[in-house]
Amino acid sequence: MPLDWTARDPAGAIIPLAGDRCLIPEPFVGPPGNANGGIAIGALGYAALAGATAMARPVVTSIEGRLNRPVPLDRPLGITRTAGDEPTTFAVTLTDTAASPATLLATGRVRVHDAPGLAPGEALPGSPPADLAEALRAMARIAQGDHDAGRRLSDLTREAGIPHVIPHCFVCGPQNPEGLRFDPVLVDDRHVWNRWILNVRDRTPDGGLDEIIATAALDCPTAFALATEPEIYLERNRTGKVVLLGSMHVQALRLPLFAPPGGYRVVARRVSREGRKNRALAGLFDGHGACYGVGDALWIEATITW
């Protein structure tokens, strides 16, 4: 069923929240029957916002999220949120309460900032970890370029005769009519780049970009960055394997703006590979290289079961 993008709760959420329950609608699919990983991580942020009742305008500034199991779609999920060790932090969980016994799906530490006078596009408090500074500078330079004519991930897989592993994925699936349909360009042996043309559905009432959509946009690109080792990437696909998001630390650096200068680009960078574990970064940039958010993701290699 198509998602009613105008059906937002009073906080502007497009994931329905009601007390200690939430539901992730079907268009936000990742692997069949389950939520896209970035959407699931973003749902932890939504849950924390609902608990920040003392703030005039709470905004999520960071999520340290971990996916314990696939998060099902179109099913009421239980939420717990408890105050963290600081007044602006929450420990959040998502649980499949319909399972017997109830199953823990995702956990996260979410930091929230009260920003009553902050306009979309303005800087949020905090800065990315110092050890990411060099990587983010390189990614910002790539973001300012025009790589549309380059070789895309779909070119690589088509030439190898490999179909899209998750064709209905909200972020990268070519067969999801309501999805973002990212198809990145392979820039060099470490980076991928994707121009993001936003749809009006992603606009919040104040002219910003919905935070959960911004979080999702940092998810799949980190998996795409693994294709900068093409032989390993293609062999994984040929042998019936895939990478699944295990955890992601997302940090917002600016309140997302719906129409930033020069439009958005998502740049991702392969960081490391150790056994089944793969780490990659993604940044959301405008056309002038200003960074709006960073995602640091850990992907785990697994056998395809769908």
Length of the chain: 306
- CB contact set of 305 (below 8 Å; sequence gap of 6+): none
- Measure the CA–CA gap between 292 and 8, rounded to whole angstroms: 23
Q: Which residues sit opposite 203 in a β-bridge?
A: 209
Q: What is the pLDDT of residue 30?
A: 96
- pLDDT value at residue 50: 86
Residues β-bridged to residue 34:
72
DSSP 8-state assignment for residue 256: P
DSSP structure class, residue 35: B
Q: How confident is the model at residue 58, as a pLDDT?
A: 92
pLDDT on residue 74: 92
Predicted pLDDT of residue 159 = 96
Collect the ranges in the chain with pLDDT lower than 50: 1-12
Check residue 227 and give its pLDDT. 96
Which pLDDT belongs to residue 160? Answer: 95
Fold exhibited by the domain 17-115+132-303: Porin (2.40.160)
Q: What is the pLDDT of residue 4?
A: 40
Would you state the pLDDT for residue 11?
A: 43
CA distance linking residue 99 with residue 104, whole number of Å: 10
Q: Which residues contact 94 (CB under 8 A, 6 or more apart)?
A: 22, 40, 43, 44, 47, 71, 77, 78, 79, 104, 105, 106, 107
